[in-house]
Structures are given as C-alpha cells and as structure tokens.
Amino acid sequence: MRRRTFAAAAAASVLGLPALAQDFNWRGQDGRTVTLLLNNHPWSQAMRELAAEFTARTGIRTRIEIFNEEQFRARLTTLMQGRSAEVDVFMSLPSREGAVFKRAGWYTDLAPLIADRRLTAPDFNYEDFGAGMRQQATIDGLVATLPINQEGPLFYWRRDIFQRCNIPEPRFLEDIPEAAARIRACDANQGVWAARGLRGAVNYGMSGFVFNLGGSYATADGKPGLCNPATIRGIEMYANLLKDYGPPGALNHTFTQVIELLGQGRIAMTHESSNEFANIMRFPGRAQDLGVRVLPPGRETGISKPLVIGWGLAVSAHSRQKEAAWLFLQWATSTEVQTRLVQNGVAPPRASVFQGPAFNAWANEMPIRRAWAEALIEIGRTGTGVYQSPTDRVPEARDIIGNAMQQIVLGRASARDAVCAADPELARLQ
C-alpha cells in the first residue's frame, strides 16, 4: 500500500510538469543502442528496471553493464585508455577522479549539449541541480557529469540499545567513544561499532571526525596538513573506535560489510553512507529501532562539517552516439525519474524533487525516513566534497591517509607519528 501511495504521489507530481516537454522530439535517435558502464549502486540497480521505459519513450535500446567498484574502475580504465567506442555512458565520481579524467580527455563536455535547444528538452532545467553538485561536476569550466544522487556518511545508532543501557543519544562527537564504552559495559555480547577500515575507503567516514574536531587535510597555503593537533585527534578517535570496539577484520571492511553488520543488528553504531538507507531498511526491525542523523558536532569546536558527494553520468569522449547518450542522461536525471528513485533510497540532487509533494509524502510515512531526509538536506547545505589533501592524484592520497589510520589501529605507531609521517608522502603527490 505504501508503495502504491508513493507511486500515486509521484505521478501526480509529474503530471503537473510539461510531461518531459511534449513538443521535444524524444525519438530523434530511434533505433540506436547505447551502452552504459555502471558502478554497483542503488541507482544502477533501479536503472535495470526502468531502462525499458526509456526505450519505450525514445526507441533507443540500452545495454547495461554493472560491476562492483574495483572491477568497474578497471574495466572503465581499460576501455578509455584504448579509446574504445564500446561504452557511451559511464558513471563517474568527480570529487574523486574528475581532474584526472578531464586531463586524460575521457569526458564529453556537456555544456554545449545543455545549451543546444535542438538536443535538450525545454524543461531540462540544469539550474535545478543543487549549486554544490553542479560545482563538483564542473572541472575547469568543463561540465563533466550530470548528478544522479546526493550522498554522504550519516551517523546511525540503535535507539533501543541506547535506551536499554540508559545511554543518552550522542549530542557531540566526543560522546561517541563514551557511549561505546558504556555499551560494552552494559552488554558484552553486543557489537558496538563498525566503520570503513579498508585503506582507500577510510576517508569517506573518517573526514567528519577530522573536520568536526577542527582539523583539516591542508594548511592555509595549500600544503598537506595532517600533522596538526586537531587533525591528529580526529584520525585518532576514528582509529581507536575501530581498534577498541570494531569487529574482527575491520581493516578489510568497506560499506558492504558495515551495512551487513548494521542490518543484522550486530553493531550499535556506525558512520556510513546515506545511500545505503534503502538496503538497511530491508532488514527486519531496523526501521523501528534505528536513529539516523548527521554526525554530531565537536563539543569544543561546535563544528559540523559533513561530507557530501554525488555520482554523475558522463558521456564518453570516444562515443560515436553522443546525441543518443545525451538523451539518456536527460531522461535518467529528469524530475520524473528522480522522483521515482526515492523509494530505492536514492537521494535526489534536484531541488524540485527534494521539495516536492511526492518526496515529502514518502518521507512522512515513517519517522526514520523523515530523519534521513532532514539529514540529507543538512549535508547538502553545509557539506564539503573535498576529503583529502590537495592533489589531482586523489586515490593515492586517500591510500596514504588510510594507511596512517591503519598503523594506529595495528599499534605500529602512535597517532602523531603515523599521521605526521604521511605529510611528506602527500607532498610528493602535488
């Protein structure tokens, strides 16, 4: 019943629009096939089910390839370095690889397509995407992607465990280690904490700890700046939570393991992706016993500086079907489609969807949905998309920072020694 209610609200919302510009020729590329290379993601999985509707509207068939992230990136790199025309559309995370992909010539600049009235539906409205998301998608003036989601790590906690153990909800970041100790003392059999420990994935969840305690990955003059007291404190707090309260094998974990532990009720707290909300809600009981919010601010600093990023769709510079690919991008990022994707836990980057009646009707059905929506609005308003020291070689920088955190967990170095040793390595990437 709830699904039908959402669908009805979504339909009503879309009917108030000009039906994706009825006067626009959506069938101008009828008979073509576009190939999509996608990362495994809630958006991608939903697209498998919706793609037939794109074909019905345009006459363009789709061939969709979805891989887990490591395999996705390896295949994309192989095809793009070979200048292959096999892929027409691919997912990209501009905050991670935008500068590198742009320099390599892998992106088609979408700006001329957006401006072309012959190729772009009149109701497309590029300005409807949030300013922060448009900024992340634009690299040195080149519009590399259209945003398909808005996400960032959020603080999830088991309200029932906190109540049973008589522990107040953490109001400040410093309350989280205290709550962890009290949960362990209350119930030795209850898992306490999990978070990303895999070297290249650490920054995603750890950056909020760094920022909220007043730290930064860079100095005022743009050099690597891990070796300052506030940054050290943030990395040390994150590392100590994994070391003292994390599950076995925590340093090999990324979001897949963390979400499984949370969904199964084996942990009481985590700082993990907003984008996994729908997957978490599929586990029995979690909709009733979980709380979700933006990571609490630092007690002494008062700072709340969350991370906010978004995947985007790019048209390959090597595609021979750019106009057909552009039609897919417009359809996939339209208000109509984004409104429907909310029920898959995909947070919309379009303001018209976030503020629309369909989204609000869906969010108001359950308190945890409303809390998730409010948290996303907050990270969209206050968040940053930069979560490593200044460099175009983003994956390498994140590996170095993640390795420093791992050294603390393994007891191989003090927090100060591990973190300060990373700055010279990071400087070599500039």
Structure token pair of residue 348: 């919309």
Looking at the fold, whether 138 and 259 belong to one and the same domain comes out as: no
**Which tens digits make up the pLDDT trace of 305-354?**
999 988 999 999 999 999 999 999 999 999 999 999 987 878 889 988 98
pLDDT at res. 22: 54
Looking at the fold, whether 145 and 158 belong to one and the same domain comes out as: no
Domain residues for 246?
Answer: 153-307+383-427
CB atoms closer than 10 angstroms to residue 15: 9
Looking at the fold, whether 279 and 293 belong to one and the same domain comes out as: yes
pLDDT at res. 6: 41
Domain-embedded: residue 75: yes
Domain count, the chain: 2
pLDDT at res. 190: 97
**Which tens digits make up the pLDDT trace of 186-231?**
999 999 999 999 999 999 999 999 999 999 999 999 999 999 999 9
Looking at the fold, whether 163 and 101 belong to one and the same domain comes out as: no
Looking at the fold, whether 234 and 114 belong to one and the same domain comes out as: no
Looking at the fold, whether 92 and 223 belong to one and the same domain comes out as: no
Looking at the fold, whether 236 and 254 belong to one and the same domain comes out as: yes
Q: Residue 178: helix, strand or coil by DSSP?
A: helix
Domain-embedded: residue 1: no
Looking at the fold, whether 176 and 234 belong to one and the same domain comes out as: yes
Domain-embedded: residue 356: no
Looking at the fold, whether 123 and 254 belong to one and the same domain comes out as: no
Looking at the fold, whether 100 and 157 belong to one and the same domain comes out as: no
Judged by phi (left if over 0) then psi (alpha if -120 to 50, else beta), residue 72 lies in alpha
Q: Residue 107: helix, strand or coil by DSSP?
A: strand
pLDDT at res. 261: 98
Domain-embedded: residue 3: no
pLDDT at res. 382: 87
pLDDT at res. 84: 98
Domain-embedded: residue 88: yes
Looking at the fold, whether 40 and 127 belong to one and the same domain comes out as: yes
- Helix axis angle, 202-212 relative to 229-245, nearest 10°? 130
Judged by phi (left if over 0) then psi (alpha if -120 to 50, else beta), residue 216 lies in beta
Q: Mark which of 296, 328, 349 sits at the end of a domain.
A: 349
User: Residue 61: in which H helix or E strand, if any?
Assistant: strand 61-67
Looking at the fold, whether 59 and 164 belong to one and the same domain comes out as: no
Angle, CA 79 vertex, CA 76 and CA 81 arms, to 5°: 100
Domain-embedded: residue 369: no
In this prediction the pTM is: 0.82
How does 111-142 read in b/e, with b if 16+ C-beta sit within 10 Å? eebbeeeebbbebbeeebbbebbbebbbbeee
Low-confidence ranges of the chain (pLDDT < 50): 1-21
Instruction: Report whether 294 contacts 187 (CB < 8 A).
Output: no
CATH of the domain at 244: 3.40.190.10
Domain-embedded: residue 51: yes
Domain-embedded: residue 360: no
